[in-house]
Structure 1
Amino acid sequence: MTDSSTSTPSRSASPSHLVLIPSYNPGPKVYETVRSARAQWTPVWVVVDGSTDDSAAGLQALAAQDPGLHVIVLPHNVGKGAAVLHGIDLAARQGLTHVLTMDSDGQHPAHLIPEFMATSAAQPAVMVLGVPVFAADAPRLRVNGRKVSNGWANLETLWAGIGDSLFGFRVYPIEPLRRVMHGQRWMRRFDFDPEAVVRMCWLGVKPVNIPATVKYFRPDEGGVSHFNYLRDNLLLTWMHSRLLLGFIVRLPLLLWRRIEGA
């Protein structure tokens, strides 16, 4: 754990918008990520998803000195989507209306939190999606592979304008997201990000896209990845198969909305 005495901003807590960071065995980058988020926003919540790397204790130590940071510890790993759902259910009970999700491994641009939140506040009915801007050293397999998921997501929404289906730095209106997630049993693990944008579009929530830099850290830089190419690509394949069937069923409604909005 790093030194927890670093000062945090004294800004007033937003009554509506929350930064939510699901975290599973993130490595030491999590402390830098949380501090960076807190430097930009209040409140920030971290949902520790059954981590076994002692990060829960480290994050709780940070929260003990920072009233703008709240740490929720789940007893066992339930998956990213389930961790987000746990957080937004609690947030809804406290009257919060929007959530910005970001990863705990330092890849997402915390300095863009105010811009994303301002866009959401100006257009509260939309979801604000980050569109990743990759550095030259980003893994080509990851960069090119996401184009497949993006293509399917846009097909499944009748080209509703999803800039990127996999990038998890985004702002959702909480109630539509809760409605989508409680309405079915999927979206609980790595399939959360792409399925969320498709199903939110089906619900009529429009996407607004904002470019956002992304950084892939090497292991010697503290980078941690839980992505498993076989397991997670099979999960995405199964997800898009389900979504394609759902798209076919909803096609008349999507076409009607498109005609009405023309």
Structure 2
Amino acid sequence: MNQYCIVIPNYNHTHAIADVLSELAELSLPIIMIDDGSDADAKQIFSSLQQRYPFLRLLTHSENQGKGGAVQTGLRYAFANGFSHAIQVDADGQHSLNDISKLIAASESAPENVVSGCPIYDSSVPKHRYLSRYITHFWVWVETLSFDIVDSMCGFRVYPLQYTERLMNKRALGTRMDFDIEILVRLYWQGARVTFIPTHVIYPEDGVSHFRALHDNLGISWLHTRLFFGMLVRMPRLLWRKVAG
């Protein structure tokens, strides 16, 4: 029987996390939240939330490792504690948490698949962020020689932990904003299929973004360079997968 939990990376996101946890409480799923080196005020809030919600397990990084590093800590902890699947959710209230039931239903139908949200944006999305996603989409289509990955940047997804753990054990993955892209491409290379579920995504007016325009864009560009050459090595296998369906 599949066992699901929720993994939330959190670096100083305090404005929406209480509401996020309150809404998630209705699902009656264990939640693993990773404090990724947050400041003292945030830690105090997280501690009070842990006391309020018995289903919340708080893991702590002594120093900030980045979103990808925090998610990987949560995924490893989930796997080590017997969960079969982990649902990645952001701490800032962007995601439509009502759609988690749809993600789980799709995962139950195909337990070996990664299940990802496919964002539907409203007018709150910053235009530069919206356009930059399509640059990444293009490169991911090149790197997989397919259009199977509709969106590689949405951090609202279900990971089958057996295959995710296998990948993390044999390959060091990005620890910053490049993580969501890299793990999806490499899981695809490993043979995983990806199911996409349309979901609404908002950018709250009082939201705080930790996306570093220069550093993270450079990191993502370097990631695509590595993945492109990784695709060349795997080209025969990817082409055969495409032909075989």
Query: What TM-score results when the alignment is normalised by the length of structure 1?
Result: 0.89
Deviation, 1:113, is: 1.0
Give secondary structure in 2 for the equivalent of 1:223: coil
Residues 173, 183 of structure 2: 8 Å contact kept: no
What percent identity do the matched residue pairs reach?
36
CA distance in 1, matches of 2:91, 2:152: 19
Secondary structure of the structure 2 residue equivalent to 1:250: helix
| Among candidates 91, 94, 103, match of residue 107 of structure 1 | 94
Aligned to 1:64: 51
Match of 1:172 among 155, 159, 164: 159
Q: Distance in 2 between matches of 1:40 and 1:55?
A: 25
After superposition, give the CA deviation of every residue in 1:88-126 in whole Å (9 maximum; x if it has no partner): 211112110111101111111111111111111121010
Paired with 1:99 and 1:256, the residues of 2 have a C-alpha distance of: 30
Q: Does 1:30 align with 2:30?
A: no
1:71-102 deviation digits (Å, cap 9, x = unpaired)? 11221111111111111211112110111101
Q: Name the residue aligned to 1:4.
A: none
Query: Aligned letter for 2:229?
Result: L
Tell me the amino acid that sits aligned with residue 151 of structure 1. Answer: F
Check conservation: 1:27, 1:223, Cα contact below 8 A: no
Is residue 76 of structure 2 the alignment partner of residue 76 of structure 1?
A: no
Deviates more, 1:57-66 or 1:122-131: 57-66
Give the distance between the partners of 1:115 and 1:260, measured in 2 at CA. 29
- Specify which structure has the bigger relative contact order, considering alpha-carbon pairs within 8 angstroms and separated by 6 or more residues: 2
The answer to whether the 8 A contact 2:66-2:176 is kept is yes
Match of 1:251 among 222, 235, 240: 235
* Structure 2 residues without counterparts, runs of 5 or longer: none
Structure 2 letter corresponding to 1:142: R
Map residues 1-262 of structure 1 onto 2, 5 A cutoff: 16-52=3-39, 54-218=41-205, 222-261=206-245
TM-score, scaled relative to structure 2: 0.95
SS of residue paired to 1:242: helix
Q: Alignment length, in residue pairs?
A: 245
Distance in 2 separating the partners of 1:111 and 1:38: 12
Which SS does the other structure have where 2:199 is aligned? strand
Alpha-carbon RMSD across the aligned residues, in angstroms, is 1.5
Ranges of 4+ aligned residues in structure 1 off by more than 6 Å = none
- Deviation, 1:181, is 2.2
SS at 1:216 equivalent: coil
Query: Aligned pair in 2 of structure 1 residues 189, 206: CA closer, same or farther (>3 Å)?
Result: same
SS of 2:242's partner is: helix
Q: Aligned partners of 1:15 and 1:58: how far apart in 2?
A: 32
